[in-house]
Structure 1
Amino acid sequence: RTGVDSSWFQVAGALKSTLLHCCVWAEAAGAWAGLIIMIGTAVDCNRVLAGGAAVPCPSDGLLHWRLHLAYDGTDFAGWQRQLDHVQTVQGEVDKALSLVFATDVRTVGVSRTDSGVHARCHVCHFSTPDNWRGTTPLEADVALQRLRLVLPAAVLALALGRTVPSFHARLSAIRKKYTYRLALTGAVSPFESRYCWPVGPLDVAAMDRAARLLSGRRHDFTALTLGEHEPSYHGGVEKTLDVHVQHDSGAGATVLLVCDRFLYKMARRVVGALVQVGRGVFPPERVLHLERTEVPTAPPQGLFLEHVEYPCYFPAPEDAPL
């Protein structure tokens, strides 16, 4: 009996050791899980960790990619793919990626930006077969250069890299940052008019007071959204928003907005409400008790998606060169 107990404990000890190694492997995998291949740098998916152990790629028959984009949204009908004859950013990106990877590619983006809205950093993910034309996988730096050649001039691929199946451009995001540019004059250069809202003189200090009232606490933003609410996409109508208004050099101001999941047209309607404060239509305190009919929607051309934050185990490129 003693021999049986001894054997059992040996097996149990081996099993415990195996489970411990699995936990260590899983923790180590998190360190590389979202590592992205920087522009001009090729990194093999089999990462070698500090202890010399290699972490293999997931073997689901697909390669999972993360793409960072910048675009001028002026001539696009928004991000989201629509009918074939409607030009959208996603439609153009999908066509270009399908050409580069020689397979049908469908991206998933972090935000469905409206028609005319711009992005300095829009993130999307997609998957491709684990071979390219029956050969080895296409390297990220090669794919990036080819992608830049076939994308329209208004869209720039900033960075492209391999990621893990668990990364989701929208669902993995912690928060998004937008900016909105205001021109405090009625006369705007034709080289600036595509990227700002010419509103004339405003009381920027009053606008910032109103912005601070909206910031840092949960608030029902029903009055500051339009259209049908999609809980599965936008989350609840109660949000915690950080918003500030600052003077730019010259006759301009910028509204900075940060939130986890913006409601439909929420960013533009927050700006519209703040502009009404700046014009003296209502006092700063009124922004906490607005009705939908009191709030204009700011035009799209002044809005920029600036940054998307993800958990540290999905690290973004650092200073991706243009």
Structure 2
Amino acid sequence: MHDTLRLRLDIAYDGTDFHGWARQQGGLRTVQQTIEDALTLVLRTEAHLTVAGRTDAGVHASGQVAHVDVPAVALDQRSIEGDPGRLVRRLAKLLPEDVRVFAVAEAPPAFDARFSALTRSYVYRVTTHPAGALPTRARDTAVWPKPVDLQAVQACADALVGLNNFAAFCRPKEHATTIRDVHSFAWSEVEPQLFEARITADAFCWNMVRALTATCLAVGEGRRAPEWPRELLRRDARAPEVPLAPARGLTLVEVAYPRDDALAARAEETRAMRAG
């Protein structure tokens, strides 16, 4: 057994009452801080998580992935007996109801939750009903104030698929590329006046999904012309006229990874792209 083990954690959370994923100064409640504190308590060693995608305040996850490196001896406790899967029950007793770790497993040393990922998929849920969201779904369903045409919304989404510079849709981050490859962007009306969008890309920059979603809705309500998204893709800086859809409608639902023997190569490739 290795001196240090890399563990993969599959995570879900309701982001409503968190100040995003990333640990912050000042004692603000974050998902990372909450899980790391619980892991540190259970494993009796300091835990530092690397996550597939940092979500903003109010954004949810049902398919978040993170990894953590721990000493092998930390799993030798009687309640764990060397089986990382036993951590699921231990963590469930410590974590609050709005965050759960659903699986823990040993991962190959080359696995990197962030850089080994092939794609990330989000679902955005929004209602245009004048009464607003169903009360039992109010925490994960955004409200858009105007009716939208699904065909126009989808046509806008289609224009945003592909390898592009999405600078117009991203909050700027120093020395970070805004070139992303959006693999798919599909809208559906799951109930009358209730829409869901599923978008998959190699990665997303800061605020990108919420900006893309709001762009489609603005076109769908007729406030913006159908050619607007293509015009935005020609920009090389954040477009202030692009709105942000409310955070509550957004959920990270899946992170996909290559086979184990391709993890290291994928991580190296991603690091090179992100540095470009």
Counting matched residue pairs gives 252
- Confirm or deny that 1:207 pairs with 2:153: yes
Report the CA distance shift for 1:246/1:135 in structure 2 as closer, same or farther (over 3 A).
Answer: closer
Alpha-carbon distance in structure 2 between the residues aligned to 1:89 and 1:125: 14
8 Å Cα contact 1:81/1:91 also seen in 2? yes
Letter in 1 for 2:185: V
Q: Deviations over 1:146-186 (max 9, x none)?
A: 01111111011111101122111000000100010110213
User: 1:245-260 maps to which residues of 2 (within 5 A)?
Assistant: 245-260=187-202
- CA deviation vs aligned residue, 1:222-268 (integer Å, no higher than 9, x gap): 1111132452xxxx322221212111123201111111110110000
Q: In structure 2, do the counterparts of structure 1 residues 133 and 207 end up closer, same or farther at CA, with 3 Å as the change threshold?
A: closer
- Does the 8 Å CA contact 1:229/1:263 hold for their aligned counterparts? no
TM-score, L = length of structure 2: 0.86
Which residue is 1:76 aligned to?
18
Q: Which of the residues 248, 255, 274 maps onto 1:301?
A: 248
Measured at CA, do residues 62 and 294 of structure 1 come closer, stay the same or move farther in structure 2, by a change above 3 Å? same
**1:132 is paired with a residue of what secondary structure?**
helix
What does residue 173 of structure 2 align with?
Answer: 228
The answer (yes or no) to whether the contact 2:108–2:260 under 8 Å persists in 1 is no
Report the Cα distance in structure 1 between the residues aligned to 2:220 and 2:131, rounded to whole angstroms: 18
Q: Does 1:237 align with 2:178?
A: yes
Distance 1:146 1:275, change over 3 A: same
The one-letter code matched in structure 2 to 1:120 is S
SS of structure 2 residue aligned to 1:256: strand
Alpha-carbon contact 1:125-1:169 (below 8 Å) kept: yes
Partner of 2:109: 165
Q: Which amino acid aligns with 2:251?
A: F
Residue 269 of structure 2 corresponds to: none
Partner SS state of residue 169, structure 1: coil
From 51, 64, 83, the equivalent of 1:109 is 51
Which of 283, 300, 310 lines up with 2:225 in the alignment?
283
Query: Map of 1:117-128 to 2, 5 A cutoff?
Result: 117-128=59-70
Residue 314 (structure 1) shift: 7.5
Give the 5 Å matches for 1:128-167.
128-132=70-74, 138-167=82-111
SS at match of 2:16: coil
Q: Is the 8 A contact 2:76 2:82 kept in 1?
A: no
Q: Which has the higher strand share?
A: 2
Note if contact 2:75-2:84 (Cα within 8 Å) is conserved in structure 1. Answer: no
SS of the residue corresponding to residue 74 of structure 1 reads helix
Worse-matched range after superposition: 117-126 or 236-245: 236-245
Residue 128 of structure 2 corresponds to residue 181 of structure 1:
no
Is contact 2:119-2:203 (8 Å) kept? yes
TM-score by length of structure 1 reads 0.74
Shift of 1:84: 5.4
Q: Is the 1:64–1:125 contact (alpha carbons within 8 Å) kept by the matching residues of 2?
A: yes
Q: Would the alpha carbon gap of residues 128 and 170 (structure 1) be closer, same or farther in structure 2, given more than 3 Å must change?
A: same
Once the two structures are TM-superposed, the CA of residue 211 in structure 1 deviates from its matched residue by: 0.7
SS in 1 for 2:188: strand
Structure 2's unaligned 5+ residue stretches are 263-276
Does the 8 Å contact 2:75/2:82 carry over to 1? no
Query: AA paired with 1:210?
Result: C
Separation of aligned partners in 1, 2:147 and 2:19: 30
Give the Cα separation in 1 of the matches to 2:140 and 2:203.
Answer: 23
Structure 2 distance, partners of 1:133, 1:155, is 22
1:264 counterpart residue number? 206
> Structure 1 residues 229, 270: closer, same or farther in 2, change over 3 A?
farther
> What letter matches 2:167 in structure 1?
T
